[in-house]
Structure 1
Amino acid sequence: MRELVTGARRIVVKVGSSSLTTASGGIDEQRVGELVDVLGRLATGGREVVLVSSGAIAAGLSPLHLPRRPRDLATQQAAASVGQGLLIGRYAAGFARHGLQVGQVLLTADDVTRRAHYRNAYRTLRKLLDLGALPIVNENDTVATDEIRFGDNDRLAALVAALVDADLLILLSDVDALYTGSPSDPSSRRIAYVETESDLQGINIATPSKSKVGTGGMVTKVEAARIATGFGIPVVLTAAPLAGAALSGDEVGTLFRPADSRPAARLFWLAHATAPRGRLHLDPGAVAAVVARRKSLLPAGITAVDGSFAAGDPVDLVDAAGAPVARGLVNYDAIELPALLGRTTGELAAALGPGYEREVVHRDDLVLL
């Protein structure tokens, strides 16, 4: 399985705040330099590298005399405004030693959840790689609001890996691998491979980051691995100081085996890179039709509508208990649907015209969750 690592040509590397900064905030020059040297050698050796880097807020803490990561959004944005320039400056100087130009790409959740923005982000990243530059991606913390934040860069890295059609995703943190329990517990053992979801059964991964500067934890990293491997991309989880060893194929960290086939990019985008604008409540018959028989959703099977959305927006399809069973692109505005519920398409066409003889969500625009 390590051949999945050594044979990868296009690699996305994600590094967390705690791996780049000091405990009190501020950039750790040595850590950044070591990571740059590893990735610089990789890029000059004929591989394409995209770096997803946290650390903007953390890098701004010390210059602004902030003792810890602030909780309020305005101060976080101020710290990011100061820190992002410092961080990209260090990267630019470091990669220049290897003869490499870097390109900064700042994204919000909207940039990967709205289809038009998603395509534009792809074109930018693709052109940077074509021109021989090394893209450095981060969430645009200076403008992101609570409603449009990723919350951590692990999910962003997984989506970027799928966006650029990567061959490998490396998740770097302050923990060297996934363990059966707390890494500090002597009875815990390192999990070298995760081949199927069953390999994660019984493992306590609900441990948040203890860093004063980071936001993620093992939960977000495993979820990112699920997203990427679901798109057929292998994932290695390890500590930043072991990045060189991991990229050389050494037996370090945890390797998540990818799915055997990649889903259609459009359906992957719908499942993982969209935020639902509303919810359609389905009766049991409609749930069975959509989930078991992979049918389109018709007005007759909908019992209620939540949210404010327009035709073409993503919505969640939920069962009687309110649990999402699918996500799809809706063909009606939210304001239109209440008058259509429980009625057949034939009835609607006769009463309102042939334009209403259509699915609420077509099966080609629907993905099961």
Structure 2
Amino acid sequence: MRSFVEHAQRVVVKVGSSSLTTAAGGLDADRLEALVAAVRPLAGRRLVLVSSGAIAAGLAPLGLARRPRDLATLQAAASVGQSALVHQYAEAFRRSDHQVGQVLLTATDVIRRTHYRNARTALDRLLELGIVPIINENDAVATQEIRFGDNDRLAAIVSHLVSADLLVLLSDVDGVYDANPRLGPASLVRDVRSDADLDGLTVKGTGTAGVGTGGMATKIDAARMAASGGVTTIVTSAALAAAALAGEEVGTVFHPTGPRRASRLLWLQYATAPQGRLHLDAGAVAAVVGRRASLLPAGLTAVDGDFSAGDPVDLVDPSGRPVARGLVAFDAAELPTMLGRGTAELAADLGPSYEREVVHRDDLVLLQPTR
């Protein structure tokens, strides 16, 4: 038995669309009831459920045979399906005298300081009140530029947002294999303690129902994201959810590989698309990477891209290799006149608001070199 499951006081469980819906797109009531039965024992502790399925649940009511490709129809399906999904959860949990609360998040809610604090406070209060938050991305309003990309990544971020002890990623595959088990012989990877344990894996694709956006690759990325911030993660199937949450040795365990970090910094590192590039001289690289210092205008040599203050940008060394990612404090149009200049000089010429960092160290993460 896995003692870390038994001792976990805050648990985030993520379930994918393929585990909740039929291939035709409707909600499968029996599957949803089985999932709730599996996670219900955790509701007495602190349980957060990150659930896909809103878009899939909205297909049949809208008369759609398959997941649409255009954004407007995706948003319409999400709007219709989300209410049906949460209603089903509310009814299933009500039978055991537990209440649920719907929480719809966008990327802005975890990357902006004030939004991040508000989201954390709201979730903490729901858990204190004994409510089970049902979390999904706000697909009805999210655009490609401001979305998490998939609910596996969202679950990893949420696990840090609520200071979870355990993250469980459920799909229609019972763990991580060294090859596709549907195509031939494959061995289950039971434990991942470093990236070396993932060498040679070839995984991709959506679930078997064809209604989700993720696959095993996204679950591995999400598990690595959570584990890098100190959260133990289990990847297994929805059919084995009860066994996994009872501490049985099923699925693949991603053991923590780093200390806990702020959720928005994990999001910044793993899930953002940089809107531009800041070119640094060698001294600035040494300061940012070696001393974990903020980036000052004096260390800039060039700027690429069209971005606004607050957008994520890559910091690159003189050879063009990204070494860090951060939230830039100035618009792209402002930076060319600041290249290589000291903050005191800029303040004298342009005003006191320019006597500050281009990227503050609290809004910056170092990027790991590609393996």
What is the TM-score when the length of structure 2 is the normalising length?
0.90
Give the SS at the match of 1:136: strand
The answer to whether residue 274 in structure 2 is matched with residue 302 in structure 1 is no
**Is the CA contact (8 Å cut-off) linking 2:18 and 2:207 kept in structure 1?**
no
Give the SS at the match of 1:335: helix
Opposite residue 26 of structure 1, the aligned amino acid is: G
Q: What RMSD, in angstroms, separates the aligned Cα atoms of the two structures?
A: 2.4
Displacement after TM superposition at 1:187 (Å): 2.4
Per-residue CA shift, 1:51-85, capped at 9, x if unaligned? Answer: 00000111111222211111111111121122111
Displacement after TM superposition at 1:184 (Å): 1.5
Opposite residue 117 of structure 1, the aligned amino acid is: H
Give the SS at the match of 2:332: coil
Deviates further, 62-71 or 151-160: 62-71
1:55 alignment counterpart:
53
Taking a change above 3 Å as real, the CA distance of residues 332 and 319 of structure 1, as seen in their structure-2 partners, is: same
**Is the CA contact (8 Å cut-off) linking 1:24 and 1:68 kept in structure 2?**
yes
**Is the CA contact (8 Å cut-off) linking 2:110 and 2:264 kept in structure 1?**
no
Taking a change above 3 Å as real, the CA distance of residues 283 and 132 of structure 1, as seen in their structure-2 partners, is: same
2:316 alignment counterpart:
318
2:254 alignment counterpart:
256
Unaligned runs of at least 5 residues, structure 1: none
CA distance in 2 between counterparts of 1:351 and 1:81 reads: 51
CA distance in 1 between counterparts of 2:62 and 2:144 reads: 22
Pairs aligned (count): 366
Written as runs of structure 1 = structure 2, the 5 A alignment for 1:17-166 is 17-43=17-43, 46-166=44-164
Displacement after TM superposition at 1:246 (Å): 0.3
Displacement after TM superposition at 1:299 (Å): 2.2
Taking a change above 3 Å as real, the CA distance of residues 151 and 365 of structure 1, as seen in their structure-2 partners, is: closer
Written as runs of structure 1 = structure 2, the 5 A alignment for 1:288-299 is 288-299=286-297
Opposite residue 122 of structure 2, the aligned amino acid is: T
Displacement after TM superposition at 1:324 (Å): 2.7
Displacement after TM superposition at 1:203 (Å): 1.1
Deviates further, 123-132 or 230-239: 123-132
2:325 alignment counterpart:
327
**Is the CA contact (8 Å cut-off) linking 2:18 and 2:208 kept in structure 1?**
no
The answer to whether residue 175 in structure 2 is matched with residue 177 in structure 1 is yes
Opposite residue 24 of structure 1, the aligned amino acid is: A
Displacement after TM superposition at 1:300 (Å): 2.9
188, 197, 200: which is aligned to 2:198? Answer: 200
Displacement after TM superposition at 1:114 (Å): 1.8
Taking a change above 3 Å as real, the CA distance of residues 22 and 354 of structure 1, as seen in their structure-2 partners, is: closer
Percent identity (aligned): 64
The answer to whether residue 357 in structure 2 is matched with residue 366 in structure 1 is no
Displacement after TM superposition at 1:290 (Å): 2.0
Displacement after TM superposition at 1:270 (Å): 4.8
Give the SS at the match of 2:302: strand
Taking a change above 3 Å as real, the CA distance of residues 353 and 29 of structure 1, as seen in their structure-2 partners, is: closer
Taking a change above 3 Å as real, the CA distance of residues 210 and 324 of structure 1, as seen in their structure-2 partners, is: farther
2:12 alignment counterpart:
12
**Is the CA contact (8 Å cut-off) linking 2:153 and 2:271 kept in structure 1?**
no
Give the SS at the match of 1:255: strand
